[in-house]
């Protein structure tokens, strides 16, 4: 069952029948931070990966079951909530060397386009803002389905990822290794595991 429709390149207008199950998902959904995670993975010292997450985030998904391509996503992430499991490293990430969380407290994503890739796989394109830099970002997602939880809440779930170069958003701090290479890779993998509750 699809959430987002593939954009047609045909000049002939074809009205596809509406899937009742898909139409039933139409509405506004609030991301449940207790059952969602937004994380990242980055290579450290050229030999291993460091993983982290942002513990505080909020957002809204607006799903349109009759016109799925009109669906949208808005996410705000509190930079100060970064957690890699090491306090000193987290403080460094919050500092002006990296995110400068005091001056730029939020990382934001605002979708501009939705595409169906096949089956339950989709691509959401939008604007990612980190610090004072806004650039386009494409997130590949998989729709995990919908369910009613034990408290009567209707939920939808998505998981996905995107690769970025942190330098594109002004995150350029690094240090050289004596053996060659650098301490922190420019490439960062962002991961999203989202559970959202229907609110309207």
Backbone φ/ψ region at 92: left (φ over 0), alpha (ψ -120 to 50), beta: alpha
| pLDDT tier for residue 34 given thresholds of 50, 70 and 90 | very high
pLDDT tens digits, residue range 116-165?
787 788 889 999 999 999 999 999 999 999 999 999 999 999 999 999 99
Tell me what the mean pLDDT of segment 62-69 comes to.
81
| pLDDT tier for residue 112 given thresholds of 50, 70 and 90 | very high
pLDDT value at residue 16: 52
| pLDDT tier for residue 173 given thresholds of 50, 70 and 90 | very high
- Residue 19's SS3 state is coil
pLDDT value at residue 18: 63
pLDDT value at residue 13: 45
3-state DSSP of 47-62: CEEEEEEECCEEEEEE
């Amino acid at each position: 069952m699809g959430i987002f429709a593939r954009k047609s390149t045909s000049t002939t207008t074809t009205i596809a029948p509406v899937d009742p199950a898909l139409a039933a998902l139409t509405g506004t959904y609030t991301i449940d931070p207790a059952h969602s995670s937004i994380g990242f993975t980055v290579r450290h010292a050229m030999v291993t990966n460091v993983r982290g997450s942002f513990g505080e985030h909020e957002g809204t998904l607006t799903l349109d079951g009759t016109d799925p391509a009109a669906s949208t996503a808005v996410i705000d992430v509190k930079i100060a909530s970064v957690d890699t499991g090491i306090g000193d490293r987290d403080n460094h990430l919050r500092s002006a060397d990296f995110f400068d969380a005091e001056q730029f407290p939020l990382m934001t994503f605002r979708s501009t386009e939705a595409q169906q890739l096949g089956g339950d796989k989709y691509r959401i394109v939008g604007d990612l803002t980190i610090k004072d830099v806004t650039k386009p970002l494409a997130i590949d997602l998989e729709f995990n389905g919908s369910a009613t939880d034990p408290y009567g809440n209707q939920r939808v779930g998505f998981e996905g990822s995107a690769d970025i170069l942190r330098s594109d958003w002004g995150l350029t701090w690094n240090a050289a290794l004596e053996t060659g290479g650098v301490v922190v890779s420019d490439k960062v993998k962002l991961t999203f595991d989202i559970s959202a509750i229907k609110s309207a």
